[in-house]
């Protein structure tokens, strides 16, 4: 035990003191902060006022197109299109909107002239204004006025509620899936990044030829487990430092620049929808956004954090250990990194499949058969189960999955240690699967 | 007393036999040569002694006890394939390897200090291994092998890659360790390189032991009573007691290999020569271990 501890220490310390580790650890939160600040900063830049000149030859929209806070409308009293164009050329306005004489039933020929490409947003907003005006004129023509129409409009926001034994809880599909996906993504990358580090470490020991010196002092199994556990420590350290540093950096940036975080996907969705439904519902938009935010935060606070975090740590470590020992075995079986491809393939396939499935099939149907089986089988469960947990998973399924993961880990470690003890002393031999399977039953 | 007793050890791999019923003893406090051509089974045997692998059958006794894991810390092994962690500092590396051999941190630190003085490498301690020259790396490697003062030191091809100066330094260290009571096993295919160092040897060929014993006895057994004589004069041997195997004459100087026949003694030959020629040199032609090995291998093939 003492020797394993020494090995763990060495693996951990040499990696944590590496320049690349220190740089990565401090750079990532800074990049995160940059990702947060730069879009917000860009957003403030593009919020400059758009000015649109309008030449309305139809006379239908006179005074009806109103200036908005960031979209100013300047009507041109009269004149030809050519005159308007010349006038526009002399200004630095955003665009020139030309509305020819229109047939209300078939409004065609409206053009937007600009010096640069106009932003989609300006185009959408103008289109919206015109559409709405044309609509109300049509309503008028058929005897319905705007106010009556507004009374008839309905606005529905649905609140999703989880019914469980512990009572009703507001839930939010976005929050629930988000929590699971984030956990799954972290586990996926952790397994890959640090699994490959185990493999590299083993190859390094082999090519350095230190391995025989080592195993004349310690058992191959101790050497392998020491490396796997030591690197797990490195990963956890990096992860925790990222969480802490990111919180500090992001908090600091927010305080210093007083910037709202860049819009989350939810807000972006919302914004997109608002754009489509138009300007007139600004009030309702704000309202619904407020609703949404309170709904999100209540959904977040309703997530079962202790369970989520506990499961995350379990699957994080379980998945890493399961795959880590296999990566170690690959490192032992080959002489250099270029030979790893053929053995990496069968290991990466279940990881990639479970990653892809988790944000497609699993998230759409977290209780379906695919999600169920993938969250039970140890090779896919660390990623898939993380996605399912926020939606609620029966305790029996969770325990089955965890138990199988532990068994799976013991199984892969057994296989890996058999391959490892033979492989680390084998040089200059191209290994294939047949050879590997023989190693499992070698008497050493 | 033997420190290591190898008793009928056999080791088979998938498609060849590495060791076939090998038995011999290694006396304590000697320098022991484990000799044989490449692929004879030397490294397989060493890996069994150092418990990196196990034997299929047969037993090994270390200091009279069946080999067990706790014996590992009383052995020091310098493998043929050797290396160090390139990114580690010399001091850390030595400390790490010594601790893995069961020394406490304080013991290890104290021992490192001794060796640093002996090898005059104080200024390297904070250098990374990859920044050292190859000779320096080998010194560090040797230190790591003997740092924990094992009673059995196993060196596999110890001088391969050493420059002559460092090789001599290591030879002196090996003799010093032997005088302090350690037993040293040399494994090599370059037999002439260890002939003058070894007290005892075992010859292995094609997974079998060919012969073993003290070097002196072996040489006595295999000596052919042949003497090389160099001198002035016209040498013409007519006595039936001596047989001239080889003779060169050059401007009155001769050189001849002469074998004694039927119980004639070296003094008889000398007396016979002195009466006829002027003798400058009279040396017994002792077979080298290499010669003996080749002879022995030929015998086993013809048998």
User: Which residues of A fall within a CB distance of 8 Å from B141?
Assistant: 213
Of B50, B99, B141, the CB nearest to A6: B99
Tokens of A234: 């490195």
Q: Do B52 and A215 touch (CB under 8 A)?
A: yes
Kindly list the residues from chain B whose CB atom is less than 8 angstroms away from the CB atom of residue A444. 53-54
- R_g over Cα of chain B: 24
Q: Is the pLDDT of residue B286 over 90?
A: no
CA A353/CA A209 separation, integer angstroms: 36
Whether A33 is in a domain gets the answer no
Clarify whether residues A81 and A117 are in a common domain.
yes
Distance from CA of A207 to the nearest CA of B (A): 9
Partners of residue A72 on adjacent β-strands = A51
State whether residue A209 sits within 8 Å of chain B by CB. yes
**A295 and A208 in a common domain:** yes
Q: Are B23 and B209 in contact (CB under 8 A)?
A: yes
The region of weakest confidence among A128-137, B47-56, B198-207, B246-255 is A128-137
pLDDT digits (tens, 9 = 90+) for A75-121: 887 777 888 888 888 887 878 888 888 777 777 888 888 877 777 77
B144–A212 C-beta distance less than 8 A: no
Q: Return the sign of the alpha-carbon dihedral for residues A305, A307, A308, A309.
A: positive
Contact A212 B56 (CB under 8 A): no
Q: Are B152 and B4 in contact (CB under 8 A)?
A: yes
Q: Which of A3, A210, A444 is closest, CB to CB, to B53?
A: A444
Long-range CB pairs of B90-97 (<8 Å, 24+ gap) are B90/B121, B90/B124, B90/B125, B90/B126, B90/B127, B90/B128, B90/B129, B90/B132, B90/B140, B91/B125, B91/B126, B93/B129, B93/B140, B93/B144, B94/B140, B94/B143, B94/B144, B94/B147, B96/A6, B96/A10, B97/A213, B97/A217, B97/B144, B97/B147
Does residue A426 lie within any of the structural domains?
yes
Distance from CA of B214 to the nearest CA of A (A): 28
Q: List the structure tokens of A171.
A: 């839930």
Same domain, A292 and A336: yes
Residues in chain A with pLDDT values less than 50: 166, 261-282
Give all strands (DSSP E) within A90-229, no chain letters. Answer: 95-99, 111-114, 160-164, 167-171
The SS3 of residue B205 is strand
Strand boundaries in A125-246, DSSP class E: 160-164, 167-171
> Is it the case that residue B185 has pLDDT exceeding 60?
yes
Q: Does A294 touch chain B (CB under 8 A)?
A: no
- What pLDDT, on a 0 to 100 scale, did the predictor assign at position A45? 66
Q: Three-state SS for A59?
A: coil
CA A22 vs CA A238, A241, A369, A438, B74: distances in Å: 9, 10, 43, 42, 40
Is pLDDT larger for residue A188 or for residue B298? A188
CB atoms within 10 A of CB B160: 14
| Nearest beta carbon to residue A213 from set B53, B56, B82 | B82
H helices of A341-394, where? 341-357, 363-364, 369-376, 381-388
Angstrom distance (rounded) from CA A188 to CA B190: 53
Report residue B249: phi and psi, to 5°.
-115, 140
Whether residue B14 lies within 8 A of chain A, CB to CB, comes out as yes
Note whether B83 contacts A438, CB cutoff 8 Å: no
- Whether residue A444 and residue B54 make contact (CB cut-off 8 A), yes or no, is yes
Range 402-431 of A in CB contact (< 8 A) with B: 425, 427
Residues A254 and A140 in one domain: no
Number of other CB atoms surrounding residue A58 within 10 Å: 15
Q: Which of A105-119, A401-415, B181-195, B241-255 has the lowest mean pLDDT?
A: A105-119
Residue A75 and residue A122 share a domain? yes
Which residue in B has a C-alpha nearest to residue A5's C-alpha?
A: B100
Residue A83 lies in a domain: yes
Are the CB atoms for A303 and A390 separated by under 8 Å? Answer: yes
The verdict on A310 and A376 lying in the same domain is yes
Contact between residue A401 and residue A421 where contact means Cβ atoms under 8 Å apart = no
Which pLDDT score, from 0 to 100, does residue A280 have? 45
Q: What is the pLDDT of residue A299?
A: 66
Query: Which residue do the tokens 């439904």 mark?
Result: A277
The residue whose two tokens read 């907003």 is A125
Verify whether the Cβ–Cβ distance B56 to A209 is below 8 Å: no
pLDDT tens across B20-71, in order? Answer: 999 999 999 999 999 988 888 898 999 999 988 888 899 999 999 999 888 8
A210 contacts in chain B (CB < 8 Å)? 82-85
Q: Is A236 in contact with A321 (CB distance < 8 Å)? A: no
Closest partner residue to B101 (CB to CB) among A208, A217, A443 is A217
A78 with A205, same domain: the answer is no
**How would DSSP label each residue in B62-121?**
ETTEE--GGGGGGEEEE-SS----TTSBHHHHHHHHHHHTT--HHHHHHHHHHHHHHHT-
Distance from CA of B179 to the nearest CA of A (A): 25
Given a contact cutoff of 8 angstroms between Cβ atoms, the answer to whether B80 and B157 are in contact is: yes
Q: Is B160 on the interface with A (CB under 8 A)?
A: no
Q: For residue B263, is pLDDT > 50?
A: yes
Disruptive mutation site among B54, B100, B108 for chain A (greatest number of A CBs within 10 Å)? B100
- In this structure, the answer to whether residues A138 and A199 fall within a common structural domain is no
**Closest residue in B to A2 (Cα–Cα):** B100
Are A276 and A420 part of one and the same domain?
Answer: yes
State the angle between helix axes of A220-257 and A173-207 in degrees (0 to 180), rounded to the nearest 10.
130
Q: How far is C-alpha A327 from the chain's CA centre?
A: 26
Q: Write out chain B residues lying below 8 Å of A3, CB-based.
A: 100
Q: Identify which of B77, B83, B87 has the shortest CB distance to residue A14.
A: B87
CA nearest to A223, candidates A444, A443, A5, A442: A5
Lowest mean pLDDT among A176-180, B108-112, B273-277, B287-291: A176-180
Q: Give every CB contact of residue A225 below 8 A, 6+ residues apart in sequence.
A: A4, A7, A413
DSSP three-state, residue A39: helix
- Which carries the bigger pLDDT value, residue B301 or residue A141? A141
A437 touches chain B (CB under 8 A): no
With CA atoms as reference, report the closest residue to A185 among A399, A382, A404, A403.
A382
Cβ contacts (< 8 Å) between A223 and chain B: which residues? none
> A269 and A122, same structural domain?
no
Q: Name the CA radius of gyration of chain A, rounded.
A: 31
Q: What one-character DSSP code corresponds to residue A70?
A: T
Cβ A216–B83 below 8 Å, yes or no? no
- In the block, residue with structure tokens 């989609």: A120
- Please give the Cα distance from A351 to A320 (Å, whole number): 11
Only one residue has tokens 């390189």, namely: B193
Tokens linked to A111: 């053009």
CB-CB under 8 Å, B53 with A6: no
Domain annotation covers residue A264: yes
Is residue A9 in a domain? Answer: no
Is the Cβ of A213 closer than 8 Å to some Cβ of chain B? yes
Cβ contact A210–B100 (<8 Å): no
The answer to whether residue A444 is domain-embedded is no
Q: Determine, for residues B72 and A212 on separate chains, whether the beta-carbon distance falls below 8 Å.
A: no
CB B187 within 8 A of CB B197: no
- What's the mean per-residue pLDDT of chain B? 88
What are the distances in angstroms from CA B85 to CA A317, A332, B94, B110? 27, 16, 10, 22
DSSP H or E segment with residue A71 = strand A71-75
B54 touching A, CB under 8 A?
yes
For the question of an ipTM over 0.90, the answer is: no
Mean pLDDT of the B249-255 span: 88
Query: Which residues of chain B have a CB within 8 Å of the CB of A208?
Result: 83-86
Domain identity same for A245 and A145: no
**Nearest residue to A126 (alpha-carbon basis) of A113, A115, A137:** A113
Whether chain B has a CB inside 8 Å of the CB on A80: the answer is no
Domain count, chain A: 2
**Dihedral sign (CA B275, B276, B278, B282):** negative
Residue A174, helix vs strand vs coil? helix
- Based on the fold, state whether residues A285 and A400 are members of the same structural domain: yes
Angle at B293 between CA B287 and CA B297, to 5 degrees: 135
DSSP three-state, residue B236: coil
Q: Is A236 part of the contact surface with chain B (CB cutoff 8 Å)? A: no
Question: Is A249 a domain residue?
Answer: yes
Q: Whole-angstrom Cα distance, residue B270 to residue B281?
A: 11
- Which CATH number belongs to the domain containing residue A61 in this structure? 3.40.190.10
Out of B82, B84, B88, name the one closest to residue A14 (CB): B88
Provide the strand spans (E) within A105-149. Answer: 111-114
Nearest CA-CA distance, residue B14 and chain A, Å: 9
- The residue assigned the tokens 């007691």 is B241
Nearest chain B alpha carbon to A441: B14
> How far is the alpha carbon of B204 from chain A, nearest alpha carbon, in Å?
22
Using CB atoms and an 8 Å cut-off, which of residues 177-206 of chain A contact chain B?
205
Structural domains of chain B sorted by starting position, each given as residue range(s) with its CATH number in brackets:
2-220 (3.40.50.300), 224-285 (3.30.70)
Q: Is residue A225 part of a domain?
A: yes
User: Domain residues for A434?
Assistant: 180-439
**d(C-alpha B212, C-alpha B203), whole Å:** 6
Position of tokens 């379906």? Answer: A368
């Amino acid at each position: 035990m003492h020797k394993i501890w020494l090995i763990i220490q060495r693996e951990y310390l040499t990696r944590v003191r590496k320049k690349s580790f220190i740089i990565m650890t401090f750079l990532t939160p800074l990049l995160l902060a940059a990702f947060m600040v730069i879009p917000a900063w860009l957003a403030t830049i593009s919020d400059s006022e758009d000015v649109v000149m309008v030449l309305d030859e139809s006379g239908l929209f006179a005074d009806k197109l109103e200036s908005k806070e960031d979209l100013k409308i300047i009507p041109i009293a009269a004149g030809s299109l050519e005159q308007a164009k010349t006038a526009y050329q002399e200004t630095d306005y955003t665009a020139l909107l030309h509305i020819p004489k229109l047939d209300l039933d078939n409004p065609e020929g409206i053009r937007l002239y600009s010096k640069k490409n106009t932003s989609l947003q300006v185009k959408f907003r103008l289109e919206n204004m015109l559409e709405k005006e044309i609509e109300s004129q049509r309503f008028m023509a058929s005897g319905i006025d705007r106010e009556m129409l507004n009374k008839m409009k309905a606005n529905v926001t649905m609140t999703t509620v989880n019914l469980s034994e512990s009572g009703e809880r507001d839930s939010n599909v976005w929050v629930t899936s988000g929590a699971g996906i984030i956990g799954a993504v972290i586990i996926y990358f952790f397994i890959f990044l640090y699994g490959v580090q185990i493999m590299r470490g083993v190859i390094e020991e082999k090519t350095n030829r230190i391995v025989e010196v080592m195993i004349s002092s310690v058992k191959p199994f101790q050497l392998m487990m020491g490396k796997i556990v030591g690197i797990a420590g490195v990963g956890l350290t990096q992860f925790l430092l990222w969480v802490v540093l990111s919180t500090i950096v992001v908090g600091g940036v927010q305080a210093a620049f007083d910037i709202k975080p860049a819009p989350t996907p939810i807000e972006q969705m919302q914004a997109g929808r608002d754009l489509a439904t138009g300007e007139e519902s600004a009030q309702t938009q704000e309202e619904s956004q407020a609703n949404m935010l309170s709904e999100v935060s209540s959904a977040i606070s309703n997530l079962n954090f202790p369970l989520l975090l506990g499961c995350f740590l379990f699957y994080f470590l379980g998945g890493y250990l399961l795959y880590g020992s296999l990566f170690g075995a690959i490192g032992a079986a080959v002489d250099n990194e270029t030979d790893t491809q053929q053995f990496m393939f069968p290991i990466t396939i279940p990881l990639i499949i479970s990653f892809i499935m988790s944000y497609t099939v699993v998230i759409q149907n977290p209780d379906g058969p695919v999600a169920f089986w993938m969250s039970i089988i140890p090779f896919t469960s660390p990623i898939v189960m993380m996605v399912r947990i926020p939606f609620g998973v029966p305790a029996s399924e969770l325990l089955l999955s965890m138990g199988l993961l532990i068994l799976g880990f013991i199984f892969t470690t057994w296989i890996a240690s058999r391959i490892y003890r033979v492989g680390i002393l084998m040089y200059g031999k191209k290994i294939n699967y047949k050879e590997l399977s023989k190693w499992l039953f070698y008497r050493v | 007393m033997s420190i290591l007793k190898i008793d009928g050890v056999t080791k088979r791999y998938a498609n060849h036999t590495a060791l076939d019923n090998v038995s011999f003893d290694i006396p304590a406090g000697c320098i022991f040569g484990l000799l044989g051509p490449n692929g004879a089974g030397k490294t397989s045997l060493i890996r069994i002694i150092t418990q990196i692998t196990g034997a299929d059958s047969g037993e090994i006794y270390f200091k009279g006890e069946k080999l067990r894991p706790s014996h590992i810390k009383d052995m020091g092994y310098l493998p043929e394939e050797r290396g160090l962690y390139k990114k580690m500092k010399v001091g850390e590396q030595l400390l790490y390897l010594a601790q893995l051999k069961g020394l406490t941190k304080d013991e290890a630190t104290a021992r490192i200090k001794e060796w640093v003085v002996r090898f005059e490498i104080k200024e390297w301690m904070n250098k990374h291994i990859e920044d050292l020259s190859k000779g320096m790396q080998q010194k560090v490697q040797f230190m790591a092998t003997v740092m924990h003062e094992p009673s059995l030191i196993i060196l596999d091809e110890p001088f391969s890659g050493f420059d002559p100066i460092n090789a001599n330094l290591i030879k002196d260290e090996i003799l010093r360790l032997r005088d302090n009571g350690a037993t040293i096993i040399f494994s090599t295919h370059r037999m002439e390189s260890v002939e003058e160092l070894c007290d005892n040897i075992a010859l292995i060929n094609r997974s079998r032991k060919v012969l073993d014993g003290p070097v002196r006895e072996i040489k006595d057994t295999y000596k052919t009573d042949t003497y090389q004589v160099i001198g002035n004069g016209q040498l013409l041997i007519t006595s039936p007691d001596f047989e001239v195997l080889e003779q060169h004459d050059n401007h009155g100087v001769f050189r001849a290999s002469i074998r004694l026949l039927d119980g004639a003694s070296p003094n008889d030959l000398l007396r016979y020569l002195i009466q006829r020629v002027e003798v400058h040199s009279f040396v017994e032609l002792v077979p080298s271990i290499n010669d003996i090995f080749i002879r022995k291998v030929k015998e086993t093939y013809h048998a």
